[in-house]
Amino acid sequence: MRDLTGHTETRHGDMLDKRRRTHDGCFACRRRRKRCDLRRPRCKGCERNALLCRWALPGTTDEQSPAETEASACTFRNPSIQKTPTGLGVASCVLKGPISSLLFKHYLQETGNAISAHRGPLNSFIQLLPCFAISYPNTVLQSLLALSGMHYRCRASSVDVDVMTFTHLGLALRSLKHGLTVFASSQFRSDNLQLLVTTLILCFLETVRVDQSGDVVHHLKAANVLFNTLITSPEQDQDNPKLLEFIKEFYVYVKNITALTGTLSSSTLFISTFSESANTIFVSQHGPGNLLGCSYELFNMVPHIEALATRGHYYLYTTPNHEADESYRQQNFQLHTYLSSWQPPEGTLPEFALSGFMYREAFLCLVERTSPSVDVRHRDIVDATRINNFLDLLNLLPLEAPVSTTSIWPIIFFGVLARNQSHQALIYTRLAHMNQMFGFGNIRSSMVFLQSCWDRQGKSSGLAELQVSDDLDLFSLMKVMNFNISLL
């Protein structure tokens, strides 16, 4: 009797363990009715079969409907996954095999949400870009799948996924090279939109995988030419104005953040692209603000900020007694006044307003660092004021706010200036949370970069040889310290 009872209890325990593994496992194992080993973030079954390993949110029940479970949390983060207009069924005709389907699904559920400041119907990276990509399977779709693969491998590396990711990247680059050759050697200009989108996606791809060879610059130079052709063409795609506005915002964000990082000189980046009469042509608040948020007007000022900063640097380091001419003083004053008085549009979401104010503090700091009215000896005091203002705003921004994905540049900008250890700890902790939330390689590299900067501050030489106290050229600073990080 004892043996029988013991045997029954053992079988009962096995049944409970099997039920727990079945009902507490990942969604893929549940649907396939396979036993899940409960390993996170990716179970062995999903790794072996190249499946997207996703888990339920804490506190959710097993009785959720398929739609609810589909909208539950994923391996990398916990956004609400909305129904998308572009499903795997529509894309199956152009996707090559199960790994490509996996990457497309991962983009719809993860990457497209990690890039955008919006979720749901306003997220153009989900609502518009996949449909456009399927229309151009040799260029846009290949780059989109490669971007998804780079994002995927940041957290769940798989040999099969790695091979397919670089296959898609190679196909995208080959098609892009061919398209640019045709574009440059003939009057055939009808495909410049797909080429432009491909270059912009590749900029984000290099950001995610931490570009060490400067490929972002090459992609952006091509995008400059393509974009100029697009906005001057009478044959703009007016059939889909939402897509056109989204692509314009996409381009402006990539270009401006790259310029602010110092990767390209303002003379190279803004040549024939930004003129005072042309600014509002493509930087207008018509879209939902997937990347610029509510800061359209602030980003309109970036070329002026860059130009004045360049002139200010000249006056500070090449003229006797740092004397600036009256026109520069007047322009600097007007720009500072404009930035100081900027307010988000009425009805702006609180998180978007906070993000806009964070950019405003960074832009004001840039202007003040080369202002003729600020004594060089008092610059640390000015920096400290702006850092305190910025960190107050950062503390108010919820950790889970999607808009924080667009705040990497101002965080790194003020991180380099931070001298107080408590400020450094706050910035590092925020970046660590963003790294866990978004899974971008550039965030992890930025954390290492900032820690290296802070470690040097403790040495006798400080950061003087890096000229951080002078013009704060992040690109030059990274180069001296053997970093090359895109801050998109």
More confident residue, 234 or 474: 474
Residue 181: the pLDDT is: 85
| Spatial distance between the Cα atoms of 400 and 404, rounded to a whole number of angstroms | 8
Residue 316: the pLDDT is: 64
| Amino acid (one-letter) located at 17 | D
For the ranges 185-189, 339-343, 348-352, 370-374, the lowest mean pLDDT is seen at 185-189
**Tally of CB atoms within 10 A around 460:** 5
For the ranges 37-51, 118-132, 166-180, the lowest mean pLDDT is seen at 37-51
Residue 78 has pLDDT above 50, yes or no: no
Residue 166: the pLDDT is: 95
Tell me how far apart the 2 most distant CA atoms of the chain are, in Å: 102
Q: Counting Cβ atoms within 10 Å, is residue 194 exposed (0-12), middle (13-18) or buried (19+)?
A: buried
**Angle between helix 441-457 and helix 408-417 axes, rounded to 10 deg:** 10
pLDDT tens readout for residues 437-456: 999 999 999 999 999 999 88
What mean pLDDT value characterizes the chain?
79
Find tokens 């699904």 and name the residue.
105
Task: Give, in order, the Cα–Cα distances in Å from 374 to each of 8, 65, 386, 474.
Answer: 83, 62, 14, 21
More confident residue, 176 or 89: 176
Q: Tokens at residue 180, please?
A: 């640019």
Residue 329 has pLDDT above 60, yes or no: yes
Residue 11 has pLDDT above 60, yes or no: no
pLDDT tens readout for residues 400-420: 999 999 999 999 999 999 989
pLDDT tens readout for residues 244-280: 899 999 999 999 999 888 755 443 333 333 334 334 4
Q: Taking residues 75-93, what's their average pLDDT?
A: 43
More confident residue, 213 or 223: 223
Confidence of residue 294 (pLDDT cuts 50, 70, 90): very high
Q: Percentage of residues in the chain with pLDDT exceeding 90?
A: 44
Whether 202 and 248 have beta carbons less than 8 Å apart is answered as: no
Whole-structure pTM value: 0.78
Residue 340: the pLDDT is: 95
Whether 62 and 23 have beta carbons less than 8 Å apart is answered as: yes
Task: Give, in order, the Cα–Cα distances in Å from 409 to each of 266, 307, 404, 414, 464.
Answer: 17, 19, 10, 9, 22
Residue 30: the pLDDT is: 84
Whether 28 and 53 have beta carbons less than 8 Å apart is answered as: yes
Residue 322 has pLDDT above 50, yes or no: yes
Whether 289 and 344 have beta carbons less than 8 Å apart is answered as: no
